[in-house]
Structure 1
Amino acid sequence: MKEEIDLWRQQIDYILVKAHFRNQIKDCRSYPSADLCSDHNLVLMKSSLRFKRVKKKPVKLKWELEKLKTEVLAKRYAHETDNIATIFQRGGVNEDWDQIKSGIYKVAQKIVGRTEPKNKRKWITADIIECIENRRLYKNSTDEQGKAECRRLRNLFNREARKAKENFLEEMCREVEENIQNGRTDLVYRTANQIF
């Protein structure tokens, strides 16, 4: 005689998929004979995932406004922008605005300039970047000598980057400790935000 547990079988194991992705599902089945220490059945699904391509946004370079804090450059910038109003020719409102806008842009480009993109990993030095560039030359080589050189350069890069990162973090920690001793909590938080 069968026990009561065997008389009732209920399907309690599911894989939920959004309706939007249902065409990516190729096969789905349960394996009741799988050796599991559970009253659940193993459910297996085969699917083909298609990931969205991530589009990189172009880097917007910011104006180097710190230069305008020096008195000489600030006066020069003010003088040049004042001259724009005398140079442009009168026309319609939109034409006047375009001339003023392009004039201010040219003056800002000439005097203020744009900031260079900063490296997110501040511990990477010029030697490490040179090592990366050298490794790129050997990366796609098919002969054994090229592969060995690529491996050597990769190991060198990893060692140098690890040392540079440790030195950078030690310096930042030393700076945080000095700021704590001096009671400058604002600098402590600013330094912590730079690290993390």
Structure 2
Amino acid sequence: MDKDNRHIKVMTLEDEPLRSEGIQHATEEERRTRTSRFRADEAAGPKLKGRSVADMPGSERKVQCCKEKYCIGTWNVRTMNLGKLDVVKNEMARINIDILGISEQKWMGMGEFSSDDHHIYYCGQETRKRNGVALIVNKRVAKAVLGCNFKNDRMISIRIQGRHFNITVIQVYAPTTGAEETEIEQFYEDLQHLIEMTPKKDVLLIIGDWNTKVGSQEIKGTTGKFGLGVQNEAGQRLIEFCQENKLVITNTLFQQHKRRLYTWTSPDGQHQNQIDYILCSQRRRSSIQSAKTRPGADCGSDHQLLIAKFKLKLKKVGKTTGPVRYNLSQIPYEYTVEVRNRFKDLDWVDRVPEELWMEARNIIQEAATKTIPMKRKCKKAKWLSNEALQIAGERRQAKCEGDSERYRKLNADFQKIARRDKKAFLNEQCKEIEENNRIGKTRDLFKK
């Protein structure tokens, strides 16, 4: 009987609340909270089977399309000199720009190199520091770059592999309105040739300083009604070029404040014009989500940074394995012992020379891999001091506040400190070269 009573008591405790606790009715506030949660769940749609949204990691809870958004920009830097590259890279990281086109860089020659988390492709004249264009991509995009076309000192292009279709980005620096007609015609002929070389299925983006004014008049399929200023003759030529190649000028499509439209300011600060543009294929116009300038960005130029955000899927390109590089300055004694013992056991009699060579090569490679450390990749030395970068930040702040007098002073200070840093860096390099020459380290001598 006692057992039955205990059983009944347990059942009562499980099925009914204790009298001391009582039945707790929901308050009006709790009812409102439950209702709001229910409506939020309805708006969010059905949950995944077997997993609650709260159990998902943060990266999975984000909207999938956020992983496909990229930011492209173009900037006339008016000479990339004396540490300006570091300032531009800092601005790219601050604004989260993936691809940045540079106009009027004024570097000689052409080529590519890596700097920190960015890869730079540049093209200029061979003998003069004039014009010049470049494309800078961050490491997120660099993995998907298929190749680069160094056309001339006014245009350069890269091709990026996408998930469903590839993307071609062309950076241009057009002649000014005061240039000779033959030079302007040659520019458009070269650009037309570059476009014809681009596969028709590619998403085409042409960015840069066009030195034209397309105005605020809407032209269906080519320009929107949110341009700036009055169209000039050079602007009419650009519009006709866009119509022939089915291109749309994206930074005239979005309504923005005037300070987000103009890309150039006159030296006296009295006039602003829209002369930099981002062009896109008409059939891919829906990929562009916004286009505007960033007045707060600064690199000591009279041009504003122009950016556009687009939504595409990129694909990582598999890199081929490069040659293995060993640190020959640290060959241990174990390597000598390993090779010597392996060669003692080698059968030299009645062997075909090719066979013998393959076996000897394998012995050396296996011993090297086992005992010799790999050579570390040397990073490019940074010569611009933190003091200069701090002044660059203060200069950007002065620009945002509209304090032109303070901006000019900080700009002069930055140039002065950058020259000092460059001189100190070169002096240190010369001392190292002289020291390596004195002690006979020829390998380190010619590395410099």
Question: Which bin holds the TM-score, normalised by the shorter protein?
Answer: 0.3 to 0.5
TM-score, with structure 2 as normaliser: 0.20
Going by fraction, where is helix more abundant, 1 or 2?
Answer: 1
Going by fraction, where is strand more abundant, 1 or 2?
Answer: 2
